Chain A
Amino acid sequence: MLMSTPRNHANAVKLTMLLAGVVLILMMAFGLVMRAAQGGLFELDPAFFYRLMTAHGAGMVGVAALTGAAVLWYFVSRYVDLIEGVYWAFLGLFLLGVVLILGSIFVGGYGGAWTFLFPLPAISGGAWEASAAVAFILGYISIGVGFLLFYLEVGRKIVAAYGGIGRALAWPLAFGGAQPDDAPPPTIVAAMATTVFNTIGIVVGATVLVSSLVNLLVPGFAVDALLAKNMIYFFGHVFINASIYMAVIAVYEIVPEYTGKPWKTTRPFALAWTAILLFVMAVYPHHLLQDTVMPAWALVMGQIVSYLSGIPLLVVTAFALCVYLRGSNIRWDLASALLVLGVAGWSVGSAPAIIDGMISVNKLMHNTQWVPGHFHIYLILGEVAMAFGFMAWLVKDARASEFTGIDRLGLGIYLLGGTGFTLMFLISGALSVPRRWAVHAEEWFLQDRIATGFGALVVLGALIFVALYAKGLSARRES
């Protein structure tokens, strides 16, 4: 193992995080505009609202995945010799995909949401041409190909270095008599698991994307809507969850620097990651609980696995971090605070997610604002907080002081804004406000407007984090 990340990989990741920071602010601004428009603060053409919504959804999922991948690459390159060119190919294909997606939305008028639910891309009711939907899907395919290259490189190097997928997942420790000292480090276990399940997820996603593409070009080519929906939600669920599971590697690697205590692969840790590998793929039917034509066993599985998925998160990741922190004398700065916040937010967000995974609750909460409520907790206070923490850590050497006033201000604003913003979604969901409506009834304006205020704080906090990162990068270049 190298003590530090090779400079060429580190530079590529730093550039990625700068791009991601700018995109994050832009996507958050899109979200803020949508909430303000829903609250009647100004009028927005519904067609434009749905284009913004599509860009916001695709952009946030994309940038969450990008930051997660950057974290994974940065730390895995300490353990195995990764080919730098693969990362540039991944980033190039990602940016090509972004250009295609933005072009399809803001030039072609595509507004079919990030979920591209078949057959909506082909049946827009006159809102966009098939060519715009084709560009959107080609954008996704470009990003997917980039990720497959990325995982191929990460996967083959880990398998070669650690003697197979099972060994990289610490199965000899989980299921055999191996000792913790012989197990791979947590980063490798997490990277192997995400490589396996996200590769499968992306291949399934690519299949349904190509089917949708053929349907757009040859409308006589019919795709079964239920099969397509299963595949889309399998892909979508796995992909966004992989972003969080990749980002948590930053916690395993960085937090020990602040405590002096290593984060070790233990038997519960190894078992938890094997459970995660299975649960992330088996849970997706909880997105189809209102499709009563689905086999009953699949819906039951969706509910049960949805609950079980919380166990490795709460009993292993969250519990272990709390135990780890106790008496650790951790040095608090912006990076360590945001990384701990990321795990806390992710854990807190699991409660409304799991409850919505119950069929009887889902009947009342599905596709209300409850749903963006729980996944915005996962993102704003979870994955994105970890990404900002990673960014702060990347430039911490360039900072004069460890935890400055501006750091505390940014953190406070972001935490307050994120908490209030997501709480308004949950309250609106409990009040039966549907999600993804460009125009809201007047009786929903109050919580929309309060959410807009909190959303502005989130954007402000994010602006501070990204500005500090850019300043830190600039200072490092000068030194």
Chain B
Amino acid sequence: MQLTVLVVSLMFMIIIALFFISAIRASQTGGSDLTAKIDRSHLFWGMLAFGFAVTLVSLWEWPHRITSGQNVVTVNATGAQWSWGIDKEEVPVGQPVVFNVHTQDVTHGLGVVDPNGRLLFQAQGMPGYVNKVEHIFKQAGEYRVICMEFCGVGHHDMITEFKVVAN
């Protein structure tokens, strides 16, 4: 997913840059640049339509949905300067796991990283509130919990681990 985001972003960035490069070239020659090939009102309506479609697709299933039921595993993760407290050492593969993110002091950011070092999801831990985030782990292994919100001088030391095990 992250690689796709990078590639898509770079693609749009290059397209925008090409518009400027062609306009700069056409500034002296008077020749045609990329904007000459596009009607501005078409660009406006095209961007609106594209945005509408992307919004619909990306929000059709609510990204922060929390399922309920007997097979849901709940984990309480509590951040404190500068460590994480996790009340379960193991969670199962293939079942919804809901992380309740708490904090004892300042705002922290729970980030869960897979065995390959890839960030899977995150949620903020904020004083006085409990943010919930759900994930279904697909592979067993050692996962790391790191802090994603700057919380003081030991921010980078807030690392702990838990296991995802096959049923």
* Chains A and B belong together in one complex: yes
Picked from A225, A291, A340, the residue with its CB within 8 Å of the CB of B24 is A340
Contacts of B31 in A (CB 8 A): 327
Nearest neighbor of B127 in chain A, beta-carbon distance: A225
Q: CB distance A50 to B153 under 8 Å?
A: yes
Given the known inter-chain contacts A229-B126, A268-B40, A368-B119, please indicate yes or no for A344 contacting B1, CB distance below 8 A.
no
Contacts of A327 in B (CB 8 A): 26-27, 29-31
Contacts of A118 in B (CB 8 A): 107
Is B128 in contact with chain A by the CB < 8 A criterion? Answer: yes
Given the known inter-chain contacts A225-B127, A315-B40, A340-B24, please indicate yes or no for A363 contacting B121, CB distance below 8 A.
yes
A323-351 with Cβ < 8 A to chain B: 323, 325-330, 340, 343-344, 347-348, 350-351
Contacts of B133 in A (CB 8 A): 290, 292, 363
A361-382 with Cβ < 8 A to chain B: 361, 363-368, 370
Most buried by A among B24, B26, B47: B24
Contacts of A340 in B (CB 8 A): 20, 24
A423→B1 CA distance, assembly (Å): 18
Contacts of A292 in B (CB 8 A): 64, 123, 131-133
Which residues from chain A sit less than 8 Å from chain B, CB to CB? 46-47, 50, 111-113, 115, 117-120, 123-125, 127, 224-226, 229, 268, 288, 290-293, 296, 299-300, 303-304, 307-308, 310-311, 314-315, 318-319, 321-323, 325-330, 340, 343-344, 347-348, 350-352, 355, 358-361, 363-368, 370, 426-427, 429-432, 434, 436-439, 443
Which residues from chain B sit less than 8 Å from chain A, CB to CB? 1-3, 5-6, 8-10, 12-13, 16-17, 19-20, 22-24, 26-36, 40, 43-44, 47-48, 51, 54-55, 58-59, 62-64, 81-82, 105-107, 109, 111, 113, 117-124, 126-133, 146-156
Please list 21 pairs of residues, one from A and one from B, whose beta carbons are closer than 8 Å in the complex, sorted by A's number: A46-B153, A46-B154, A115-B150, A224-B128, A291-B124, A296-B64, A300-B59, A303-B59, A307-B51, A318-B20, A325-B23, A327-B31, A329-B27, A330-B27, A340-B24, A343-B20, A358-B58, A366-B122, A368-B148, A430-B3, A437-B156
Smallest CB-CB A-B distances: 7 pairs: A327-B30, A322-B23, A351-B12, A432-B119, A430-B6, A437-B156, A344-B20
